[in-house]
Amino acid sequence: MMRMLSFLLLLGLITSSCFAAELKQTEVHRVEYDALANTPTALIREKAIRQIPAINPGEYFVPPEVGDIPTSKYGDMVKLGRNIFSDTQHYAKRYAGNGLNCTNCHLQEGRKPYAAPLWAAYPMYPAFRNKTRDVVTFEERVQDCFKYSMNGIAPTLDSPEIKALTAYAHWLSKGAPINKELPGRGFARLSKPRDPTSVNGEKIYKENCASCHAVDGHGKKFTNRDGYMFPPLWGNDSFNHGAGMYTVKGCAQFTKANMPLGKGWTLTDMEAWDVCTYIWLQERPSDPRFGWYMNTFAPPLGGN
């Protein structure tokens, strides 16, 4: 009896599942594209070879998606950190002395490999820094960003801004190994075939950079809102002499991997050195660490 019953049940299940499958087939309307296909079908151009060397998927750490930020107090802090990071001019205005946002260098909300991604930096701290000749924590490192790259005032270590930024970096590096150098950390590594020249750099700047960052390097402001659409590379609203981007090496490594935007790795190493030498020669706020004279008589002029 029991066997009979189980057999009937099984039969019923199979038939019902078949019907369900049939129903689904009629309901689902056909899609015109393959959602999983990774190649564009319209890419039929004769010379469709990518100018950019393809980055192998799976080569770099992939941070969690924004939709997966947990709904908790921790999640709120992460969200605040993300807001500060992508819109520093609004969410941490009192600490910013120029017109930049964190995302101007840490591209794509701090996610892009070779644009100093947060997921590669956070697990490496505390670390010894040559700049300060001391072991610093991640929070102290963020303070330095505010002092030099943002040309502003460092938030205190217990401030909500530092807490939020740390929480955001912590969340972005979810699943990343602690204290292990990940591929894509920092910027590109460059060769230096000869000494760079700013003469060549000026040509490269006017050709490749000036259409967005303006010929005078002061960036381009929005016409319909506050702030910069394209960030200033020098001038009062840019980073100061103490910033890592001020060094020709730091700038060249960033430029090589990321500029012109969307066409990273297209400049040669030497072009990156040259254009950064040109940028290095321009005027910008002075280093807050050095010189009582400069700090007394020529203090940073501040933001917009």
Partner 1 sequence: MKNQNRTSVKQVMHALGLAVLGICIMTLTGCGNKASSEEKAAIEDGKTLVEKGRGTVPGCVACHGANGEGLEAAGYPRLAGLDAGYIKKQLQDLARETPPPGVVIENVAKDYSKTPRIYSDLTVFSPGLRHDAVMSSIAKQLSEADIRNVAAYYGSLPFQAKPVAADYQVLERGQDLALRGKPEYGLPACVSCHAPDGEGFGADFPPLAGQPAAYIVGQINKWQSGARDNDNLGLMRAVADQLTDADKLNVAAYYANRSLTVKGN
197 lines the binding site for partner 1 (CB under 8 A) = no
**Backbone φ and ψ of 228, nearest 5°:** -105, 135
Q: Which is nearer to partner 1, 129 or 220 (CB)?
A: 220
The CA–CA distances, whole Å, from 10 to 15, 17, 277 equal 9, 11, 77
Q: Which is nearer to partner 1, 219 or 242 (CB)?
A: 219
Show Cβ contacts of residue 115 under 8 Å, excluding neighbours closer than 6 positions.
105, 106, 107, 108, 187, 254, 257, 258
Please report, as residue ranges, which positions from 64 to 93 form the binding site for partner 1 (by CB under 8 A): 65-67
Q: Which is nearer to partner 1, 26 or 224 (CB)?
A: 224
Q: Which is nearer to partner 1, 59 or 181 (CB)?
A: 59
CB of 135 to partner 1, least distance (A): 30
41 lines the binding site for partner 1 (CB under 8 A) = yes
191 lines the binding site for partner 1 (CB under 8 A) = no
233 lines the binding site for partner 1 (CB under 8 A) = no
190 lines the binding site for partner 1 (CB under 8 A) = no
Q: Please tell me the distance from the alpha carbon of residue 246 to that of residue 277, in angstroms, as a whole number.
A: 10
Q: Which is nearer to partner 1, 82 or 241 (CB)?
A: 82
Instruction: Select the residue interacting with partner 1 from 26, 39, 71, 130 (CB under 8 A).
Output: 39
107 lines the binding site for partner 1 (CB under 8 A) = yes
CB of 104 to partner 1, least distance (A): 10
Note the helical H segments in the chain. 2-27, 73-86, 88-91, 107-110, 118-121, 138-144, 160-172, 198-204, 210-213, 248-258, 269-280, 292-297
* Coil, helix or strand at residue 94: helix
175 lines the binding site for partner 1 (CB under 8 A) = no
The CA–CA distances, whole Å, from 94 to 90, 150, 161 equal 9, 11, 11
Q: Please tell me the distance from the alpha carbon of residue 9 to that of residue 1, in angstroms, as a whole number.
A: 12
Q: Which is nearer to partner 1, 38 or 296 (CB)?
A: 38
Instruction: Select the residue interacting with partner 1 from 222, 281, 298, 299 (CB under 8 A).
Output: 222
Q: Which is nearer to partner 1, 5 or 37 (CB)?
A: 37
DSSP symbol at 178: T
**Per-residue H/E/C for 97-146:** CCCCCHHHCCHHHHCCCCCCCHHHHHHHCCEEECCCCEEECHHHHHHHHH
Q: What track of x and - describes contact with partner 1 for positions 130 through 169 (by CB under 8 A)?
A: ----------------------------------------
CB of 150 to partner 1, least distance (A): 19
| Residue type, position 88, single letter | T
Q: Which is nearer to partner 1, 166 or 208 (CB)?
A: 208
Residues that bind partner 1 (CB under 8 A): 32-35, 37-48, 50-52, 54-55, 57, 59-60, 62, 65-67, 107-109, 111-113, 117, 202-203, 206-208, 211-212, 220, 222, 224, 229, 260-265, 268
